[in-house]
Amino acid sequence: MNLLHVRGVPAALIALLFALVARILGSVTDGGALAGIVVAFILLITAGFSGFVPLLVLFVLTVLATRFGRRRKERLGVAERTGGRTGSQVLANLGAAACCALPTLWFPEFSDLLLAGAMAALAEAAADTVSSEIGQGSSRRAYLIVGLRSVPIGTNGGISLTGTLSGIAAAFLIAWVSVAFDVVGSNWGLTIAIAGSTGMMFDSILGATWENSGHIGNDGVNFVSTVFAADLALLTGIMVDRFAR
């Protein structure tokens, strides 16, 4: 728990500032800001300022992607709601990353593995947001990931080439930042990127099936998909370590 004592005050101040900026920009509601404080604080106390950088990059990507093609998305009726993301939306996208990172306080020997899972969850959140927003803001057609039939832009589970490629690029960017700022070792970069990209596709499958059938809401889809990406990275790490022995 020494990390909590050493990093506690600086982490709290940075997390508060981050949430304040997000709230001023209108990217989150009051509840979303509070949820953001919790997630940012956890990443800061577990991985230092380096652990906060991928979250910051995710935030910037979200802001830019959401504003991309805003007028077109408003005409199509698929634009992000005004007022910013709520607490449930923030936790649905970032909760898995926080849950992966927090145990490193008690099990530091597994920090590399757990932080890789956290970064994979952030990579999935970035990929999902960017793919949806860029796709809706620029693509002329969307296709349901299950069956690939043409569907209206904005349909749950609808994908486009532009959106998909943009999402993959976002996942790779989060992975690169995670390695560049020493959150994880360089051997984790490709695993994080692939896990994030795969999680994005899994999100679309859930949207096309369970969400469209009314069995799960959008927040549930987002949370399950980030957990899927984190678990995929964790499982890959465990398997690689086992085979290396």
The pLDDT confidence band at residue 70, using thresholds 50, 70 and 90, is confident
**Residue pLDDT, tens place only, 93-150:** 999 999 999 999 999 999 999 999 999 999 999 999 999 999 998 888 899 999 999 9
Number of H helices, E strands in the chain: 8, 3
**Residue pLDDT, tens place only, 186-235:** 999 999 999 999 999 999 999 999 999 999 999 999 999 999 999 999 99
The pLDDT confidence band at residue 9, using thresholds 50, 70 and 90, is confident
CA angle, corner 200, sides to 199 and 205, nearest 5?
90
Which residues lie across from 159 on neighbouring strands?
143
Mean pLDDT lowest among 46-55, 74-83, 198-207: 74-83
To which H or E segment does residue 144 belong?
A: strand 142-144
pLDDT of residue 2: 59
Residue 60 exposed, middle or buried by CB count within 10 Å (0-12, 13-18, 19+): exposed
pLDDT of residue 226: 98
What is the per-residue burial (b if ≥16 Cβ within 10 Å, else e) of 146-160?
eeeeebebebbbbbb
Token pair of 163 as six digits: 């959106």
pLDDT of residue 245: 65
Check residue 183 and report its DSSP letter.
S
- Structurally, the chain folds into a number of domains equal to 1
Q: Which domain holds residue 197?
A: 2-244
pLDDT, mean over the chain: 92
pLDDT of residue 30: 95
pTM of the complete model: 0.94
